[in-house]
Amino acid sequence: MRVSRRPFLGLIAAASLSGCARIATSLTQNQRVHALLETPERLNLAILGAGQPLAREYAEADISPTFRHNGFDPPASEEYQRWLKDDWRGFALRIDGMVDQPASFDMPSLRNKFIRRSQITRHDCVEGWSVIGKWSGVLLADLLAVARLKPLAQFVVFHCMDDDGTGTLYYESLDIRQAIHPQTLLAYDLNDRPVPAQNGAPLRLKVPTQLGYKSAKHVRRIEVVASLGGSFGRGGYWEDQGYEWYAGI
């Protein structure tokens, strides 16, 4: 099967890895891109991402006048408050675990070195409300392509900075297939403005194909792992309280 599909693999890989191509070129590491395009594992990643059903996208006119917020309060730590006031100077997103290239990215590099992707999608909370917003940011697949998943990587865990008031931090997880879905976005803008603190500044996941609780706010670290369980409980804060890990809509 894989062999007979090969003629168009390259095209799809080239399209979905273009964000990576841009950052790699800016680092004058063309070799890395070529390696990505030529490695069967990377091509399979692109194919998995490209073949999935898409969430509906809306028009600008459909955007809700106010995007409500829900969940824990934004992080109260001095560090977070300082970053918020200081335009995120000193803040960096960490990506590590089962990747070949663990890395940290500050906000300017996420904004400037990766292709900006936008989507107008609906957010559905299990509590029974929905809002439509325009999200812009980095496609998670582009970030994972730069970090380069190791062969046994199976899940991506999102570590957040906010807690439930008792010190238990919010976290979430996706499997690799969901993580590289072409609409799974690490968003830095909401409706063309930096994501407000209440909606998850400076970076929040937007997974429009799944219920709201999968869209982790205030993401600080992305950890790629081989399995959930153990210290990852059932794969998310709400999952640990009994919600389903799979929240597809």
Ligand X SMILES: Nc1nc2c(c(=O)[nH]1)N[C@H]1C(S)=C(S)[C@@H](COP(=O)(O)O)O[C@H]1N2
Q: Which residues bind ligand X (CB under 6 A)?
A: 68-72, 125, 160, 162, 170, 199-200, 212-213, 215-218
Question: Cβ 174 to Mo ion, closest distance in Å?
Answer: 16
Question: Cβ 86 to ligand X, closest distance in Å?
Answer: 21
Q: List the single partner that 137 binds among Mo ion, ligand X, none, CB under 5 to 8 Å by kind.
A: none
Pairing, β 155-163 against β 169-175: antiparallel
Q: How far apart are the first and last CA of the chain?
A: 29
For Mo ion, which residue of 47, 63, 125, 131 counts as binding (CB under 5 A)? 125
Token pair 């106010």 is at which residue?
66
User: Does 74 sit behind a cis peptide bond, omega within 30 degrees of 0 on the bond before it?
Assistant: no
Q: List the single partner that 82 binds among Mo ion, ligand X, none, CB under 5 to 8 Å by kind.
A: none
Q: List the single partner that 92 binds among ligand X, Mo ion, none, CB under 5 to 8 Å by kind.
A: none
Residue with Cβ nearer ligand X (173 or 215)? 215
Question: Cβ 57 to ligand X, closest distance in Å?
Answer: 18
Residue 29: φ, ψ to 5°: -125, 60
- How far is the C-alpha of 196 from the C-alpha of 201, rounded, in Å? 6
- Choices 148-156, 161-169, 205-213, 225-233; region in contact with Mo ion by CB under 5 A: 205-213
- How far is the C-alpha of 189 from the C-alpha of 215, rounded, in Å? 14
- How far is the C-alpha of 245 from the C-alpha of 139, rounded, in Å? 22
Residues in contact with Mo ion by CB under 5 A are 125, 212-213
